């Protein structure tokens, strides 16, 4: 199919832009779902009296809701249509905001966050699916790119909203009135959620105004409606051409079904299996780059790299801004240079960036010392630990480690403690010996052992909760690492910015296209659900092991591991992924059938 066409009709151009706007609002909601809790959480913790297990579950509830809805998103998209599922996902997001912002108890907070997660899971499947089926071949990449671009904008917006309220909280704190400060913090976290309501309302309205997917309508036998939907964004000639391709594919499927005596064509055929496996590999490798963990723990990474607290927080703002700006570059290039090119260049750049960042960490982490026995001796009879970590305490602990400790002594250092109660493991935040305002390293059962069996199952389905409630505190590692210099910290930050730049311009934009374009029509909705579930499973696995792995092996090992996984990504993109730029979905499907 050629991309040349007569001059676009103004009405079809306006409608195509409207489609992109609606898709962008879906991406914005997805980004807000991911990023909004970070700014609200400190004030929620300060005013809601939740224990550590409850707080963790509130944060994780979005992921749980997303996993649940992803399982059924494909079935729902096939049964009720793409348009109405988009509207439903927006309604769920809108409903979640008052549930959270007006809540005065743990149960309603969890319910609201679950609704946000369900909304995010549906949006992650149905919006790329809808765009792939509605936009023409020449603008399909732009549509998915704008979805990702505004997703990153949602994360950036959440970061700036958090900074705005943190500045206001700091101003109130200077007044010295504890009651006023408490009340304002309570207002702050609720306001952060209220601010995200207008985009949700606009997304619902936009979803109701767009046409249904023409390919969904065609598969339902509503050909006249499918052609009318195409005419809103195409010329009559282009609409007729695509209708002809859809008719041809439908006739071919019917003929094969008739030839096989009415038995449906096997989903194990090459034209289904190869694109499905490719999409799953790409979605899994996208998370295996470490993107979510590097964004989620970015402040901790920069602190450990040698930056101060303020520098680390501004580093996070720079990181999210680079992500947003370079996504614009990806959007501009995806329909010009193609998906294969951007994925290949992006994954290659990610490998170089991760290896470089890991090498800077390695220069100091190779000196780390485990003072587990000395910290175990400080555990109180009630199986808790409170350990102020300053230069003097660091010197005392390092003194018990012999020559290895002497090599680290006399310079600022950081401490992370990996501990367990029975089958449940956790890690403390990293503290630095030269941070005078740092709270003592504090370990208690509430911060590790889940509050109930539901949370325990999702934390560790094979753990014995009753035994963990009475198990002694075991210090598995107490790792002291020299703090790198500030210049080394900014070098690590620069490599991390480079990482996010390559990710944003390549995989960040193209992954949604791979998810929606590669899947043949017959399996597209359900296949996308399964592939996205694979994506979330890898993300969950990395998130669940990130802190313990960092604590035991260091950031350098994790960065090198992510680089190794990205090598698989590069090989898949460069040697196995076909170029889909400028091709209709039916042409892509025929490519795999003819291989």
Asked whether residue 4 is assigned to any structural domain, the reply reads no
The CATH number of whichever domain residue 183 belongs to comes to: 1.20.1250.20
Q: What is the pLDDT of residue 494?
A: 95
Q: What is the pLDDT of residue 267?
A: 52
Q: What is the pLDDT of residue 525?
A: 65
**Which carries the bigger pLDDT value, residue 574 or residue 498?**
498
Q: Report how far residue 115's alpha carbon sits from residue 61's, in angstroms, rounded to the nearest whole number.
A: 9
Q: Are residues 147 and 35 in the same domain?
A: yes
Structure token pair of residue 483: 């703090």
Q: Are residues 205 and 224 in the same domain?
A: no
Mean pLDDT of 33-52: 70
Asked whether residue 559 is assigned to any structural domain, the reply reads no
Q: What is the pLDDT of residue 54?
A: 65
pLDDT of 265 > 60? The answer is no
Give the structural domain span for 20.
10-211
Asked whether residue 227 is assigned to any structural domain, the reply reads yes
Give 442-477 pLDDT, tens digit per residue. 888 887 888 778 777 766 778 899 999 999 999 988
Other CB atoms closer than 10 Å to residue 236's CB: what's the count?
12
**Which carries the bigger pLDDT value, residue 237 or residue 93?**
93
Mean pLDDT of 128-133: 78
Q: What is the pLDDT of residue 6?
A: 46
Please identify, among 486, 509, 540, the residue that sits at the C-terminal boundary of a domain: 486
Q: Report how far residue 220's alpha carbon sits from residue 217's, in angstroms, rounded to the nearest whole number.
A: 5
Other CB atoms closer than 10 Å to residue 593's CB: what's the count?
13
pLDDT of 179 > 80? The answer is yes
Q: Are residues 137 and 18 in the same domain?
A: yes
Give 549-589 pLDDT, tens digit per residue. 776 788 889 999 999 999 999 998 888 887 777 676 666 67
Q: Are residues 191 and 104 in the same domain?
A: yes
Q: Are residues 137 and 236 in the same domain?
A: no
pLDDT of 440 > 60? The answer is yes
Q: Are residues 245 and 380 in the same domain?
A: no
Q: What is the pLDDT of residue 3?
A: 43
Instruction: Tell me how many domains the chain contains.
Output: 3
Q: What is the pLDDT of residue 491?
A: 93
pLDDT of 411 > 90? The answer is no
Mean pLDDT of 517-536: 72
Asked whether residue 178 is assigned to any structural domain, the reply reads yes
Q: How confident is the model at residue 225 (pLDDT cuts 50, 70, 90)?
A: confident
Q: What is the pLDDT of residue 4?
A: 42
**Which carries the bigger pLDDT value, residue 87 or residue 252?**
87
Q: How confident is the model at residue 74 (pLDDT cuts 50, 70, 90)?
A: confident
**Which carries the bigger pLDDT value, residue 267 or residue 104?**
104
Q: Are residues 130 and 156 in the same domain?
A: yes
Q: How confident is the model at residue 490 (pLDDT cuts 50, 70, 90)?
A: very high
Q: Are residues 115 and 231 in the same domain?
A: no
Q: What is the pLDDT of residue 294?
A: 83
The DSSP secondary-structure symbol of 205 reads H
- Going by C-alpha positions, the residue among 308, 559, 553 that lies closest to residue 412 is 308
- Going by C-alpha positions, the residue among 398, 400, 392, 396 that lies closest to residue 368 is 398
- For 417: left if phi > 0, alpha if psi spans -120 to 50, otherwise beta; the answer is beta
Mean pLDDT of 79-99: 91
Q: Are residues 51 and 189 in the same domain?
A: yes
Mean pLDDT of 145-173: 78
Give 363-409 pLDDT, tens digit per residue. 888 888 889 899 999 999 999 999 988 888 888 888 888 888 887 77
Structure token pair of residue 355: 């290896």
Q: Are residues 165 and 64 in the same domain?
A: yes
3 state DSSP class of 193: helix
Q: What is the pLDDT of residue 191?
A: 87
Asked whether residue 74 is assigned to any structural domain, the reply reads yes
**Which carries the bigger pLDDT value, residue 199 or residue 255?**
199
Mean pLDDT of 334-345: 84
- Going by C-alpha positions, the residue among 525, 493, 543, 521 that lies closest to residue 593 is 521
Choice among 81-85, 134-138, 233-237, 287-291 with the minimum mean pLDDT: 134-138
pLDDT of 5 > 50? The answer is no
**Which carries the bigger pLDDT value, residue 438 or residue 14?**
14
Asked whether residue 71 is assigned to any structural domain, the reply reads yes
Q: What is the pLDDT of residue 492?
A: 92
Give 300-336 pLDDT, tens digit per residue. 788 778 887 667 777 878 888 898 888 888 878 877 8
Rg value, the chain, Cα = 26
Q: Are residues 196 and 248 in the same domain?
A: no
Q: Which residues, 6+ apart, have CB-to-CB distance to 495 below 8 Å?
A: 353, 354, 356, 357, 360
Q: Are residues 63 and 181 in the same domain?
A: yes
Please identify, among 152, 176, 211, the residue that sits at the C-terminal boundary of a domain: 211
Asked whether residue 129 is assigned to any structural domain, the reply reads yes
Structure token pair of residue 42: 């400190």
**Which carries the bigger pLDDT value, residue 492 or residue 160?**
492
Per-chain mean pLDDT for the chain: 80
pLDDT of 104 > 90? The answer is no
Asked whether residue 137 is assigned to any structural domain, the reply reads yes
Mean pLDDT of 53-70: 73
Structural contact between residues 448 and 421, judged by C-beta atoms closer than 8 angstroms: yes
Q: What is the pLDDT of residue 259?
A: 57
Q: How confident is the model at residue 2 (pLDDT cuts 50, 70, 90)?
A: very low
Structure token pair of residue 27: 């991406």
Which percentage of the chain shows pLDDT scores above 90? Answer: 15
Element (H, E) at 115: helix 106-134
Please identify, among 196, 211, 226, the residue that sits at the C-terminal boundary of a domain: 211
């Amino acid at each position: 199919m050629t991309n040349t066409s007569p001059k676009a009709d103004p009405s079809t151009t306006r409608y195509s832009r409207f489609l992109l706007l609606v898709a962008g609002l879906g991406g914005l909601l997805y980004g807000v779902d991911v990023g909004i809790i970070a700014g609200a959480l400190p004030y929620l913790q300060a005013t809601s009296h939740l224990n550590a297990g409850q707080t963790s579950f509130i944060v994780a509830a979005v992921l749980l809701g997303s996993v649940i809805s992803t399982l059924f998103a494909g079935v729902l998209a096939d049964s009720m249509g793409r348009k109405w599922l988009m509207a439903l996902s927006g309604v769920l997001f809108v409903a979640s905001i008052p549930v959270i912002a007006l809540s005065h108890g743990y149960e309603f907070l969890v319910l609201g966050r679950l609704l946000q997660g369900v909304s995010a899971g549906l949006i992650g499947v149905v919006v790329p699916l809808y765009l792939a089926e509605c936009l023409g071949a020449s603008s399909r990449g732009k549509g998915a790119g704008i979805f990702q671009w505004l997703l990153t904008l949602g994360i950036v917006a959440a970061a700036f909203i958090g900074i705005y309220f943190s500045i206001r909280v700091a101003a109130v704190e200077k007044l010295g009135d504890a009651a006023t400060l408490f009340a304002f913090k309570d207002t702050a976290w609720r306001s952060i959620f209220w601010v995200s309501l207008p985009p949700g309302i606009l997304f619902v309205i936009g979803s109701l105004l767009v046409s249904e997917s023409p390919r969904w309508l065609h598969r339902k036998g509503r050909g006249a409606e499918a052609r009318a939907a195409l005419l809103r964004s195409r010329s009559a000639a282009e609409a007729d051409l695509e209708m002809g391709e859809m008719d041809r594919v439908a006739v071919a499927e019917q003929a094969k079904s008739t030839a096989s005596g009415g038995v449906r064509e096997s989903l194990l055929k090459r034209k289904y299996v190869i694109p499905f496996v490719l999409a799953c590999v790409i979605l899994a490798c996208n998370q295996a780059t470490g993107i979510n963990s590097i964004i989620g723990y970015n402040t901790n990474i920069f602190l450990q790299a040698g930056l101060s607290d303020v520098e680390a927080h501004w580093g996070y703002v720079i990181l999210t801004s680079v992500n947003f700006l370079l996504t614009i570059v990806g959007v501009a290039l995806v329909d010009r240079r193609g998906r294969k090119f951007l994925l290949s260049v992006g994954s290659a750049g990610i490998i170089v960036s991760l290896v470089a960042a890991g090498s800077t960490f390695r220069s100091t982490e190779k000196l780390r010392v485990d003072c587990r026995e000395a910290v175990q001796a400080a555990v109180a009879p009630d199986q808790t630990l409170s350990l102020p970590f300053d230069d003097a305490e660091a010197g005392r602990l390092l003194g018990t480690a012999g020559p290895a400790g002497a090599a680290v002594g006399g310079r600022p250092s950081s401490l992370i403690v990996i501990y367990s109660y029975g089958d449940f493991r956790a890690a403390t935040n990293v503290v630095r010996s030269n941070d005078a305002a740092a709270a003592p390293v504090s370990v208690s059962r509430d911060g590790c052992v889940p509050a109930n069996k539901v949370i325990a199952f999702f934390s560790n389905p094979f753990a014995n909760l009753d035994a963990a409630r009475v198990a002694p505190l075991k210090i598995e590692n107490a790792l002291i690492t020299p703090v790198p210099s500030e210049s080394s910290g900014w070098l690590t930050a620069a490599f991390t910015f480079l990482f996010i730049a390559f990710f944003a311009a390549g995989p960040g934009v193209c992954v949604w296209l791979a998810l929606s374009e590669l899947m043949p029509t017959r399996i597209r909705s359900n296949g996308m659900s399964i592939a996205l579930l694979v994506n979330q499973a890898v993300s969950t696995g990395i998130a669940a092991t990130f802190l313990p792995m960092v604590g035991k092996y260091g950031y350098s090992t994790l960065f090198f591991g992510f680089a190794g996984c990205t090598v698989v990504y590069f090989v898949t993109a460069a040697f196995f992924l076909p170029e889909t730029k400028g091709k209709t979905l039916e042409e892509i499907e025929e490519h795999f059938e003819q291989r």
